[in-house]
């Protein structure tokens, strides 16, 4: 048996492979340069062009570009009318922003457990967590696997709730033959460098509601408007009004120009992500110490990340030893995510471990493998070789 690098053997890779990385080419750079040379580098025409391009791709009526994905969630909560005293249900198996945005509005995050098969929020537990204070639901398309949005919308309609999909992982994912983004009240996107397309930092809110659209536009610009149809009075062509307490959550035209160029490559990026995920699935499906990601039959994941679950009962060590061994093989693994309410800040708010047993069980066993379009098949095969090497070493 080959010895692991952690025990002094030779690693599978000579160089480190990160879990995610952006793909920027000369076309992207030229688009940004052209905008830098133009009259507008912020609040200009590239914003609207980018918004229209993403809206058309996802089949939504409106899109509002925001400074980042977290700000997009905050804006969506504001537009939904989330206020102090409200409760909003979300999943713990996500980045903290999905819950933090609720706190920004003075409301209380309520965590519903996940489905142990899909790892997405469980609609049955959503129903159990609804109270008279519940205002909205924020389901997360975890890893790019669409949630059961029809069932969640059904619950929302029954109780008069607003649904804000956190689609940071899901640009290009499909649910029952349609791109995600138009099935609920709002959906947010992130354009961080490890996401499907990047604008450096950046985000967006998608909606089919004119009312939400107008509120979102105001919120990202201090709550200020010059729209004559919205003004309470008009003192002249210079006149504007602050109608809400908004934020400076604007995206620049520089970022939007990069986003427009990136959108032209999105289908290529998705094709590669799906191809590489299938290579992983094929390689790991018959290894009894591993559980590959499950996909609902009526969904098509956008594969933001590839999460492998360990059957710890079949291994001589825990997740940490496997994780560290893979790092020694120069494989840039990660863990997505630490349950939100595990964080010290949430613990000080009174949240305790034991809230969501399925999420907690999953967290102890998952490892995120590298997955991004800039990878090559050779890179994928290196990851496969390293995983098999480590699992063979540690299996019982």
Q: Is residue 146 scored above 50 in pLDDT?
A: yes
- Report d(CA 176, CA 300) in Å as an integer: 8
Q: How many CB atoms lie within 10 A of CB 344?
A: 7
Q: Token match 């034991």: residue? A: 354
- Cβ neighbours of residue 313 closer than 8 Å, sequence gap 6 or more: none
Q: What Å distances lie between residue 332 and 8, 20, 24, 222, 370, CA to CA?
A: 19, 9, 20, 40, 6
DSSP 96-131: THHHHHHHHTT-EEEEPPBPTTT-SB-HHHHHHH--
- Report d(CA 62, CA 76) in Å as an integer: 13
Angle between helices 69-79 and 97-104 (to 10 degrees): 40
- Report d(CA 17, CA 68) in Å as an integer: 26
- Does residue 166 share a domain with residue 48? yes
pLDDT of residue 91: 98
- Does residue 253 share a domain with residue 277? no
The H or E element that residue 98 is part of is: helix 97-104
pLDDT of residue 1: 41
Read off the pLDDT of residues 324-355 as tens digits, 9 standing for 90 and up.
Answer: 999 999 999 999 999 999 999 999 999 999 99
Query: What CATH number is attached to the domain comprising 331?
Result: 3.90.1150.10
Contact 347, 326 (CB under 8 A): no
Cα dihedral angle (182, 187, 191, 196), rounded to 10 degrees?
Answer: -50
Q: Which residues are the active-site residues?
A: 195
- Does residue 203 share a domain with residue 89? yes
Q: Quote the number of domains for the chain.
A: 2
Question: Of 220, 245, 263, which residue constitutes the final position of a domain?
Answer: 263
Q: Token match 């540690």: residue? A: 394
pLDDT of residue 7: 67
Query: Whole domain around residue 143: which residue ranges?
Result: 26-263
What's the CA angle centered on 102, arms 100 and 107, to 5 degrees? 130
- Does residue 332 share a domain with residue 281? yes
Q: What is the rounded radius of gyration, in angstroms, for the C-alpha atoms of the chain?
A: 22
pLDDT of residue 124: 98
Q: Which of 218, 219, 216 is closest to 207 using CA atoms? A: 216
Helix (H, G, I), strand (E, B) or coil at 175: strand
Q: Which of 65, 138, 134, 66 is closest to 96 using CA atoms? A: 138
Question: Of 243, 263, 283, which residue constitutes the final position of a domain?
Answer: 263
- Does residue 232 share a domain with residue 377? no
Read off the pLDDT of residues 86-113 as tens digits, 9 standing for 90 and up.
Answer: 999 999 999 999 999 999 999 999 999 9
- Does residue 271 share a domain with residue 204? no
Question: Of 239, 263, 287, which residue constitutes the final position of a domain?
Answer: 263
- Report d(CA 47, CA 74) in Å as an integer: 19
What is the number of residues in the chain? Answer: 396
Q: Please, which pLDDT band fits residue 161 given cuts at 50, 70 and 90? A: very high
Helix (H, G, I), strand (E, B) or coil at 238: coil
- Cβ neighbours of residue 163 closer than 8 Å, sequence gap 6 or more: 136, 137, 138, 139, 149, 152, 153, 156, 184, 185, 186
DSSP code of residue 121: B
pLDDT of residue 9: 81
- Report d(CA 42, CA 331) in Å as an integer: 39
Contact 299, 144 (CB under 8 A): no
Q: Please, which pLDDT band fits residue 3 given cuts at 50, 70 and 90? A: low
Contact 90, 98 (CB under 8 A): yes
pLDDT of residue 155: 98
- Does residue 317 share a domain with residue 251? no
Q: Give the HSE-up count for residue 146: Cα atoms under 13 Å, Cβ half-sphere.
A: 27
- Does residue 226 share a domain with residue 89? yes
Q: Which of 326, 295, 306 is closest to 393 using CA atoms? A: 326
- Report d(CA 288, CA 35) in Å as an integer: 53
What are the tokens at 3?
Answer: 């010895």
Query: What CATH number is attached to the domain comprising 178?
Result: 3.40.640.10
- Does residue 277 share a domain with residue 239? no
Report the mean per-residue pLDDT for the chain: 97
- Does residue 306 share a domain with residue 227? no
Decide which of 309 and 10 is more confident: 309
pTM above 0.95, yes or no: yes
Helices (H) and strands (E) in the chain, counts: 13, 15
What are the tokens at 356?
Answer: 């969501």
- Does residue 289 share a domain with residue 192? no
Instruction: Please give the average per-residue pLDDT across 48-74, as a whole number.
Output: 98
Contact 62, 207 (CB under 8 A): yes
- Report d(CA 43, CA 50) in Å as an integer: 12
Instruction: Please give the average per-residue pLDDT across 118-127, as a whole number.
Output: 98
Query: Alpha carbon 226 to chain centroid distance?
Result: 33
- Does residue 74 share a domain with residue 13? no
């Amino acid at each position: 048996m080959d010895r692991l690098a952690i025990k002094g053997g030779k690693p599978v890779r000579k160089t480190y492979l990160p879990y995610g990385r952006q793909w920027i080419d000369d076309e992207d750079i030229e688009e940004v340069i052209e905008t830098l040379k133009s009259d507008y580098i912020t609040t200009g025409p590239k914003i609207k062009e980018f918004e229209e391009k993403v809206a058309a791709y996802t089949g939504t009526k409106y899109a509002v570009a925001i400074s980042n994905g977290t700000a997009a969630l905050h804006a969506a909560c504001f537009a939904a009318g989330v206020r102090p005293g409200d409760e909003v249900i979300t999943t713990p198996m996500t980045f903290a922003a999905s819950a933090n945005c609720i706190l920004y509005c003075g409301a209380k995050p309520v965590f519903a457990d996940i489905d142990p098969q899909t790892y997405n929020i469980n609609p049955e537990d959503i129903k159990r967590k609804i109270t008279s204070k519940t205002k909205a639901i924020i389901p997360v398309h975890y890893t790019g696997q669409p949630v059961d949005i029809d069932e969640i919308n059904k619950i929302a309609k029954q109780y008069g709730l607003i649904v804000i999909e956190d689609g940071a992982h899901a640009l290009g994912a499909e649910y029952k033959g349609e791109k995600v983004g138009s099935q609920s009240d709002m959906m947010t996107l992130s354009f961080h460098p490890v996401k499907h397309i990047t604008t450096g930092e950046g985000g967006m809110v998608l909606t089919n509601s004119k009312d939400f659209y107008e509120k979102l536009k105001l919120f990202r610009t201090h709550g200020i408007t010059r729209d004559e149809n919205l003004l309470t009075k008009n003192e002249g062509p210079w006149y504007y009004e602050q109608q809400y307490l908004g934020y400076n959550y604007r995206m620049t035209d520089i970022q939007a120009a990069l986003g427009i160029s990136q959108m032209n490559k999105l289908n290529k990026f998705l094709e590669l992500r799906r191809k590489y995920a299938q290579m992983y699935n094929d390689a790991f499906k018959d290894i009894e110490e591993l559980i590959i990601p499950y996909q609902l039959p009526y969904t098509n994941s956008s594969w933001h990340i590839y999460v492998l679950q360990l059957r710890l009962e079949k291994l001589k060590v825990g997740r940490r030893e496997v994780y560290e061994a893979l790092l020694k093989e120069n494989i840039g693994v990660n863990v997505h995510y630490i349950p939100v309410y595990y964080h010290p800040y949430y613990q000080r708010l009174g949240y305790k471990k034991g809230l969501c047993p399925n999420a907690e069980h999953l967290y102890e066993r998952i490892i995120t493998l590298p997955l991004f379009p800039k990878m090559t098949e050779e890179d994928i095969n290196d990851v496969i070789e390293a995983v098999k090497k480590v699992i063979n070493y540690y299996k019982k």
